[in-house]
Amino acid sequence: MKKYIGLEEMKNVNCSSVLGVICNCGEVSRKQITDITGLSWGGMTKIVNKLFEHGYIEEAKCEKVSGVKRTPNIIRVCRDKHFVIGLDINRVGFGAYVMNLAGDIIKEYSSDLSYCDKEELLQAIFDFIGQIADEFKEKKLLAMGVAMQGILDVENGISVRFPHCPDWKNIPIKDILKEEFGVEVFIEHDPNCMLYSSQHEEESENMLLLRMDNSVGMAASVNGRIIRGNGLLEVAHCIVVPQGKECRCGEKGCLEAYVAPCLSKNGVNKQAVYELVEPLAIFMNNMVRIFHSDTIILTGKLAKYHEIFEKELLEKFHQFYDGEEISVRFVEEEERAVRGATLIAVQGAIERLRI
Which spans of this chain sit near Zn ion (rule: CB under 5 A)?
Answer: 237, 247, 249, 251, 254
Give 98 or 247: the residue with its C-beta nearer to Zn ion: 247
The conformation of residue 56, written as its DSSP 8-state character, comes to: S
- 212 touches 302 (CB < 8 A): yes
* Residue 341 φ then ψ, to 5°: -60, -40
Nearest distance from C-beta of residue 239 to Zn ion, angstroms:
8
Q: Using an 8 Å Cβ cutoff, are 219 and 142 in contact?
A: no
Nearer to Zn ion, 183 or 263 (CB): 263
- Evaluate the CA torsion angle 309, 313, 316, 322 in order and state its sign: negative
Tell me whether residue 178 or residue 252 sits nearer to Zn ion (CB atom): 252
- Measured over all CA atoms, what is the biggest interatomic distance in the chain, rounded to whole angstroms? 80
- If the CB atoms of residues 5 and 249 are measured against Zn ion, the closer one turns out to be 249
**Nearest distance from C-beta of residue 261 to Zn ion, angstroms:** 13
Beta bridge partners of 221: 226
We find the least distance from the C-beta atom of residue 122 to Zn ion, in angstroms, to be 29
Q: How far is the CB of 93 from Zn ion (least distance, A)?
A: 26
Nearer to Zn ion, 22 or 236 (CB): 236
23 CA to centre of own chain: 18
Angle at 137 between CA 132 and CA 142, to 5 degrees: 85
> How near is the Cβ of 337 to Zn ion at its closest, in Å?
23
Computed on alpha carbons and rounded to an integer, the radius of gyration of the chain in Å comes to: 23
Output DSSP code: residue 80.
S
Residue 188 near residue 146 (C-beta atoms within 8 A):
yes
120's CB contacts (< 8 A; 6+ apart) are none
CB of 51 to Zn ion, least distance (A): 51
For CA atoms 49, 25, 197, 11, the dihedral sign is positive
**Cβ closest to Zn ion, residue 23 vs residue 257:** 257
- Give dist(CA 210, CA 343) in Å, integer: 20
CB of 240 to Zn ion, least distance (A): 10
Specify the residue, 257 or 328, whose C-beta has the smaller distance to Zn ion: 257
Per the CB < 8 A criterion, the answer to whether 86 and 344 are in contact is yes
Q: Smallest distance from the beta carbon of 259 to Zn ion, in angstroms?
A: 10
- Indicate the DSSP class of residue 228: -
Residue 142 burial (C-beta neighbours within 10 Å; 0-12, 13-18, 19+): buried
Closest CA to 146 of 347, 351, 344: 344
- Closer residue to Zn ion in complex, CB, 129/255: 255
Q: How far is the CB of 30 from Zn ion (least distance, A)?
A: 57
If the CB atoms of residues 88 and 256 are measured against Zn ion, the closer one turns out to be 256
